Amino acid sequence: MADFFTFEQLHDFPALTPPARLAVIGDPIGHSKSPQMHNPALQACGIDAQYVRIQVPIGRVKEAFSLFVKQGFLGVNITIPHKFEALDAVDVVDPLARQLGAVNTLAIRDGKMFGYNTDGPGFLRSVKEAFGAEIRDLRVLVIGAGGGAGRAVAVQSVIAGCRDLVLANRTEAKLEPLVEELRKVASAQTRLQTCSLEHAGLMQHLPEVDLIVNATSVGMKSGDAALLPGGALESRHLVYDMVYRASGPTELIQQATVAGAKHADGMCLLLHQGAISFEHWFDRPAPLEAMRAGLLKA
């Protein structure tokens, strides 16, 4: 079987055994590890279905969703660059997805399309697993808060009652609309601050935060510039790099290791947001260990 199917194939989808009933869409999509996570889950639960990758071009998400309904799919995961387009392509948007500003999970029930966002809740679960901590007890720095992933982390952190939240972005002024939005849902006790991605700006806030989240794409390629200067991290810091790569730990994870700081990468988020998607599709607990084993094998 090919690494992925094309948008054109959705019009007359090939017959597979077991039948394709779930998918992940993106552009590109061949790199996605979601099938290696969800297919073991389906097998563990005895569900006669399989999960596939489908490459969908920008601007064709709504049409693709209609074809998924026509082809009898149960659900779809949505990744870059389609999460914002998906928000306007579903029939019903979950309130949390509306707050987070993106849809990354489609559930199809009786021909109707329901949109969810599992990135925010998956972030909370993965922080709990990786660090044994609740967001409400932490002071959080989000590097790259202006992007989709960073925005989801920021909004979810505020909803969860985060004490202090520092938002860092390449252009600090672009954070103003997000800050205004966060103020509407933040408690009176939550302190919101912003800074640039310049090392000097980040260094100013490192002494007063516990959890550092990289929500940028920096680290996906070997040789990417370091987000933080060497020696900036302390052993007390919790480091969450939303990037994951098969070639080895990112520069940020390496810095955390040298500092003796607890750390986690984006594979942890992929696992937990995937488990929540599974729960939306089948209204049952996800077989987390089967999904974890599939990812580790991949």
Task: Give me the CATH number covering residue 43.
Answer: 3.40.50.10860
Q: Which residues pair with 113 in a beta bridge?
A: 108
Is the pLDDT reported for residue 2 higher than 80? no
Domain co-membership, 134 together with 224: yes
207: tokens are 């002494």
Q: Which of residues 90, 117, 144 is at a domain's end?
A: 117
**177-211 pLDDT per residue, tens:** 999 999 999 988 899 999 999 999 999 999 999 99
Domain co-membership, 138 together with 208: yes
Domain co-membership, 20 together with 156: no
Q: Which of residues 55, 85, 117 is at a domain's end?
A: 117
Residue 246: per-residue pLDDT: 76
Range(s) of the domain holding residue 219: 120-265
Domain co-membership, 138 together with 234: yes
Instruction: Encode 123-134: b = buried (16+ Cβ within 10 Å), e = exposed.
Output: bbbbbeebbeee
Give φ, ψ of 22 to 5 degrees.
-135, 155
Distant-in-sequence, close-in-space partners of 53: CB < 8 Å, separation ≥ 6? 3, 4, 5, 23, 24, 25, 26, 29, 30, 32, 34, 35
Q: What rounded mean pLDDT belongs to the chain?
A: 95
Domain co-membership, 178 together with 237: yes
**129-148 pLDDT per residue, tens:** 999 999 999 999 999 998 88
What pTM value is reported for the model? 0.92
How far CA 135 is from CA of 100, 125, 140, 265, in Å, comes to 16, 10, 8, 17
Active site residue 221: no
81: tokens are 């660059």
Catalytic position from the list 33, 62, 70, 83: 83
Domain co-membership, 109 together with 127: no
What's the CA gap between 144 and 252, in Å, rounded? 14
Domain co-membership, 71 together with 137: no
As a whole number, mean pLDDT of residues 264-270 equals 94
The verdict on residue 279 lying in a domain is no
Domain co-membership, 260 together with 125: yes
How far CA 256 is from CA of 123, 205, 226, 228, 263, in Å, comes to 19, 17, 12, 11, 7
Which CATH number do you get for residue 258?
3.40.50.720
Domain co-membership, 29 together with 129: no
The verdict on residue 174 lying in a domain is yes
Domain co-membership, 29 together with 56: yes
- Residue in the block written with tokens 């969800």: 38
Is the pLDDT reported for residue 20 higher than 70? yes
Domain co-membership, 102 together with 156: no
Domain co-membership, 102 together with 210: no
Q: How many domains does the chain have?
A: 2
| Residue 261 CA from chain centroid, whole number | 22
